[in-house]
Amino acid sequence: MWTHRKARHCQADGCNVTLHVDTKGNLCSSHFQASRKKPLRFCTQCQGEVSHANTTGICAKCRCKDTHRCTQCNKRLSRDNRTGKCMGCLYYTGRIPKDRIDDYLLMRSRLGRAKKAYEWIVSGKPVTPVASYRPPTKTAKEVIAFVSSEMSVPIEGIIGRSHEHRFLPARVVIIEALVRCGMSFTQIGRRLNRHHTTILHYSKTIYPKLAANDAMIERIIRQAAA
């Protein structure tokens, strides 16, 4: 004989959702999922949220701050290291004269490996220091105006898009003078409305050919860059 089942409702506070006949628990689906969620965990140092898979209780940002690093090359060390140096620095710095330690560390930062840096120092190869910034001695506007008056070429034609051959020597002179003044190829390209690779081509390829055939080119370059 068929009997009518009494409707069941969610037992959560403030929720009166009617449950399905086949629902085994006493909660609706939303409250059931909420009850299964694990409580949030927070970093013990910065109180930031950490995942449940994190067993240390410290977030990645705080863990990186506490990382043990080599006192010479700043390489990350294991927590068991008590010397304060990585194996590369510990092995090779003892075999390098004290006055070449700075050169060794510089070459290690460039080459990436301690053994290569050690071999570089032992072989006696020179170590060029990091180039310091030197501000340009003259502005591009001054050099362009000087070359324009010396070679009787209009400025509009030099910095314009014209491909006439009469503008070529003036552009080469300006580029080489600005290079000697301390400007980079990118900076020169911005002043002359050219890509830096075009300026590189002028300086490395066209300038030697013109300077070999015309002594006046070198004289104007020296005057412009002085």
Instruction: Return per-residue pLDDT of the chain as tens, 226 residues.
Output: 455 567 777 777 778 777 776 676 777 877 777 776 666 777 777 777 777 677 777 777 676 555 677 777 777 777 677 777 777 777 887 788 888 888 888 887 777 778 888 888 888 888 876 555 556 678 888 999 999 999 999 999 999 888 888 899 999 999 999 988 888 888 899 889 999 999 999 988 898 888 888 888 889 988 988 8
- Rounded to whole angstroms, how far apart are CA atoms 75 and 56? 22
- Which residue in 225, 217, 222 sits closest to 188, CA to CA? 225
**What's the domain range around 55?**
40-67
Judge whether 83 lies within some domain: yes
**Does residue 73 contact residue 109 with C-beta atoms inside 8 Å?**
yes
CATH of the domain at 149: 1.10.1750.10
Which pLDDT value is given to residue 39? 67
145 and 215 fall within a common domain: yes
The answer on 206 and 183 residing in a single domain is: yes
Residues in the chain: 226
Helix or strand run (H / E) with residue 192: helix 185-192
Q: Quick check: is 121 in a domain?
A: yes
Match 């030099």 to its residue by tokens: 158
Residue 100 and residue 155 in one domain: no
Find all residues with CB under 8 Å of 123, minimum gap 6, and list them: none
Question: What is the model's pLDDT at position 37?
Answer: 67
- Whether residue 4 lies inside any domain: the answer is no
By three-state DSSP, how is residue 222 classified? helix
- Which pLDDT score is estimated for 167? 92
Three-state SS at 223? helix
Instruction: Give the number of domains in the chain.
Output: 3
Cα 197 to chain centroid distance, Å, stands at: 22
Task: Say yes or no: 148 and 199 in one domain.
Answer: yes
Same domain, 186 and 148: yes
What pLDDT, on a 0 to 100 scale, did the predictor assign at position 201? 92
Q: Same domain for 116 and 177?
A: no
Q: Please tell me whether residues 124 and 148 are part of one structural domain.
A: no
